[in-house]
């Protein structure tokens, strides 16, 4: 993806040129930690290719997936933290090989003043992330674990653009904030129901 593929950026080549001038490109491998919880936010990511999963953790083992950041998107948590000189409240991990442009956090307000399109971009992402977080709250509060697990697998397949996922039961359990034995039991039930096919560290969505 190029920056001019982003809806809000199309009408402002000047803004694209300014972002390219300010930003630093970096590449990450699958599984690389891009930002840790409580780390000081010094830059705002714009994903050019690949995807990032954003997690919230409790202790060393329990985590929960909040949302994915895909190509053309950014992290609203980083926007808010960077603008207020705050630390990160989430952990971001490369879901696959990912290329990112990092815009210095101290330039965000300058971009807002100069380019209304930048603010439109932030508002769209804020609305999108808010809806995704509401889905997480709804799933945790009202859905059974088997429903949450299937939704999680479907979402992961959508982001990966593949019905075949390379993931362990331990990883699924950690990202859903539950026990591995629970995930393994539910996956077996889902396979018996014809929803998925299990392999060694692999799940195929049918």
Tens of pLDDT, residue by residue over 110-155, are: 999 999 999 999 999 999 999 999 998 888 888 999 999 999 999 8
Instruction: Please give the helix or strand (H or E) that residue 49 lies within, else none.
Output: strand 43-49
Q: What is the pLDDT of residues 28-42, one digit of tens each?
A: 999 999 999 999 999
What does pTM read for this prediction? Answer: 0.85
- CA angle (12 as vertex; 11, 16 as ends), nearest 5: 130
The residue to which tokens 């699958």 are assigned = 30
Structural domains of the chain sorted by starting position, each given as residue range(s) with its CATH number in brackets? 3-141 (2.60.120.10), 144-205 (1.10.10.10)
């Amino acid at each position: 993806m190029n920056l001019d593929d982003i809806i809000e950026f199309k009408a402002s080549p000047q803004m694209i040129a300014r972002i390219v001038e300010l930003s630093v490109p970096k590449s990450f491998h699958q599984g690389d930690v891009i930002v840790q919880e409580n780390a000081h936010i010094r830059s705002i990511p714009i994903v050019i290719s690949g995807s990032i999963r954003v997690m919230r953790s409790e202790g060393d083992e329990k985590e929960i997936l909040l949302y994915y950041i895909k190509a053309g998107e950014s992290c609203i948590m980083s926007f808010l933290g960077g603008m207020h000189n705050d630390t990160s409240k989430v952990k971001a991990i490369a879901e696959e090989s990912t290329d990112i442009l990092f815009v210095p956090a101290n330039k965000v307000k300058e971009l807002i003043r100069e380019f209304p399109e930048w603010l439109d971009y932030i508002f769209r992402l804020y609305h999108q992330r808010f809806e995704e977080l509401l889905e997480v709250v709804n799933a945790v509060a009202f859905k059974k674990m088997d429903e949450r697990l299937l939704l999680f697998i479907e979402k992961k397949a959508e982001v990966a653009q593949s019905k075949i996922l390379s993931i362990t039961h331990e990883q699924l359990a950690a990202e859903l904030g539950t026990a591995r034995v629970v995930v393994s039991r539910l996956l077996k039930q889902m396979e018996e129901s014809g929803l998925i096919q299990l392999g060694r560290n692999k799940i195929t969505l049918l």
